[in-house]
Structure formats: structure tokens, C-alpha cells
Structure 1
Amino acid sequence: MADQDPPKKPSSGLRPIERLNSEERLSRLTPATATATHHEYCSKFARDFLDAHFYYCSSKFVVARGGKVKALDEAFREAESWFSKALDWIAATEKIEIPLFYESREVQVSHSFAGRLLRLLMQYDRIFAETLYSLNCGSITADSRETTTVIAAKRIKSIQQLCIPDTDKFAPDGTLLNSSRSQTHGHA
């Protein structure tokens, strides 16, 4: 009975899905232009974003053209301005540092937008840690800390959301085009 062939896999059904945000996908798009950097983080948001979305966004940055580039650049400018103001506000508060556990990871940066996104993640982590230090000192409230970290995460997620539509879904001025005519005409 040892001569029997192994059972055949069914010819129908779904194939396993490869992760769309893997480093392999990014290396197929930009094998020669990516540079590596080490990123340290202490927040769950930064870790989860790096795991689930960073390389997907990076691959979309590489192929973005026209209006999509304009929309992404504008979203980055708005986020960078907000993060700058938030960090200035936090810098003015009193803090008592407590030990935090940091993880380190090598990250491939394939495009200037990927570098900007990584910088925002690093700034998110600073906001996460420094608001915790300020909360520990009593110079900000728990609600202020929660609101600030939620808004910071939304700023980063809004950039990720702009990565999802294809380039042809953006007008030259960077506005997202309506993809469904039925919504325009009131059809279900």
C-alpha cells in the first residue's frame, strides 16, 4: 500500500490568498530603489499598522500617478501639520517618564511617501508615549490622551484609505471620483 499516490487536491475552490502587504510584493515592484531602516515602536497601533498596512501602502505609492499623487500629498501635508501641532502641545505639558517596552523592526522604504508614512508612525508613537507620561504626571486627562491618539490614528488611516482606489479613480486635481453612477442617479 506504500505505492499509493498522495490524495489529489481538489481542482475547484479558492486558492490560498497570499498577503498583499508582504515584502515580496514590494520587492517585485521596486527591487532596486528600496532602502532599509530600523523602526522602533511601543504602541499596538504602530505594530499593527506595520504588520497589516505599511507594505500595501508602499506598493500603492510606487504605482500612484496624477490625481492620486496629488491627493496623497495633500493628505500627508494635513497629517504632518496636525502631528506638528499635537507634538508642540504635548511638549508643553509636564511629564513623568515610565519604562515602556519598545520593539525594533527593519522596514523597507520604497518611495518618498513610504518614508513620510513611516515618519508619521514614529510621531504617532511619540504621541502615544508622551501623552502617557503626561497622564502619569496629571498634566493631561485620560480623555485628552484618548482623543489625541484616536485623531492621530485616523490621520494615518486616512492615508491608507487613499491607497485603496486605483489611480484612475482620481481627478487630476486630486479629488476622488464617484465610482458609482447609480448613486448619482438615485438608483439602488
Structure 2
Amino acid sequence: MAEQDPPKKPATGLRPIERLNSEERLSRLTPATASATNHEYCSKFARDFLDAHFYFCSSKFVVARGGKVKALDEAFRDAEAWYAKALEWIGNKDQVEIPLFYESREVQVSHSFAGRLLRLLMQYDRLFAETLYGLNCESIPADARENTTAVAAKRIKAIQQLCIPDTDKFAPDGTLLNSSRSQNHGHA
């Protein structure tokens, strides 16, 4: 094994910043599960989320403990229940299918939460397509489609936002410490 040359210091004398891309970040953690799957998507939201946030969330899922796990699980349960109702709603509407272009990408699934997040992204894409089909045959208005896809995206983004604080920022009951969510100001 040949040894690597140490990184050269820039003229400023400061250490160079080494950023980890998403796959490198994930490869440094010991995954709870180690599987890969091909994910097909047709929406810009799914593509952008996979590019910018999926592996970040996956790495945070692997190291999450205690209250953070509880908070994430609750957010997943809320999102999954909402998606079930939304898919049932759009499934009862008339739809005219139109051809959509799908892209495919191999995705590493390192934790059961990452699998759940990927499933939500698949359900988002299904809602995206089926609301477009419903709009195409005028069984739903444009504003209903926009509202449905916006709320669907917010459900996934809420999970991503829970990944940002460190595990020690959560109480055992899953509330975020020092947040308006954990303080009751006379509101239910």
C-alpha cells in the first residue's frame, strides 16, 4: 500500500476544507441495513430531493438515538397516514393517463427510515402523476393539484428538517428542546 502525500497547505496557511459529498458521508457510517434499489421518478421535487437531501437524511437516520428516533417515527407516521388518504382521494377521481418521462437512479438504503423516506418519495411521484392525469380529464381543478403536491412536499420536507438538529437536541418524548414545539404557550 502506497502512502498518500499529505494535503498541501494553501498560501494562507489554513487547512483546506474537504467537503463530503452525500455518498462519501454515508460511506463513513456503519449502516443499519445495506441495500440498494433503483428508484424511478418523474417529478422535479423527487429528483431535487434525492440530489440534495436524501443521503444527508440517511446519514442522520443511522446516528439518531432516543427522542430524535421518536420524533422521526411520529413524522413518518403522520406523513404515511396523509399520503394514504391523498392517494385514496385521487384514486377515486377520473384520470386520463398521459405519457411521462421517468428517470432512474440507484439509491443506497442504509436504515429503515431511509426506506420509509424513499417510499414517501415514490408516493409523492404517484400523487404528482395521478393528479396530473386527473387535471388532464378535468376531474380535479388546477388549484387542488397544486395544493395536494405542495402539502405532499411539505410532509417530506418536515422529515428532512427533523434531521438537521443533533440527537441531543431532542427530549426523550420526541420534542425538540428549546423550540416552540416543546413549549406550551396556552395553545393545544
TM bucket, shorter chain: 0.7 to 0.9
Q: How many residues get paired?
A: 172
- Partner of 2:117, secondary structure, is helix
The 1:32/1:150 distance shift into structure 2, 3 A limit, reads: closer
CA distance in 1, matches of 2:126, 2:172: 35
What is the one-letter code of the residue matched to 1:119? R
What is the Cα-based RMSD across aligned positions, in Å?
1.8
Verify: 1:10 aligned to 2:6, yes or no: no
Verify: 1:148 aligned to 2:148, yes or no: yes
CA distance in 2, matches of 1:95, 1:32: 40
Listed one character per residue, the Cα deviations across residues 72-121 of structure 1 (whole Å, up to 9, x for unaligned) are 00000000000000000000000011110000000000000000000000
CA distance in 2, matches of 1:19, 1:150: 30
CA distance in 1, matches of 2:78, 2:33: 27
CA distance in 1, matches of 2:117, 2:82: 14
**Higher alpha-carbon Rg:** 1
CA distance in 2, matches of 1:41, 1:19: 25
Identical-residue share of aligned pairs (%): 80
CA distance in 1, matches of 2:50, 2:15: 27
- Partner of 1:105, secondary structure, is strand
**Contact kept in structure 1, 2:62 and 2:111, CA below 8 Å:** yes
Cα offset, 1:13, TM superposition:
5.8
- The match for 2:75 is 75
- The match for 2:118 is 118
- The match for 1:184 is none
What is the one-letter code of the residue matched to 1:79? A
CA distance in 2, matches of 1:65, 1:102: 36
- Partner of 1:38, secondary structure, is strand
CA distance in 2, matches of 1:97, 1:79: 26
Could you list the runs of 4 or more consecutive aligned residues of structure 1 that deviate by over 6 angstroms after TM superposition? Answer: none
The 1:34/1:88 distance shift into structure 2, 3 A limit, reads: same
**Contact kept in structure 1, 2:76 and 2:116, CA below 8 Å:** yes
* Gap runs ≥5 in structure 1: 1-7, 180-188
The 1:32/1:178 distance shift into structure 2, 3 A limit, reads: closer
**Mapping for residues 160-175 of structure 1, pairs under 5 Å:** 160-175=160-175
Output the TM-score relative to the length of structure 1. Answer: 0.87
Cα offset, 1:15, TM superposition:
3.6
Name the stretch that deviates more: 43-52 or 30-39. Answer: 30-39
* Gap runs ≥5 in structure 2: 1-8, 180-188
What is the one-letter code of the residue matched to 1:135? L
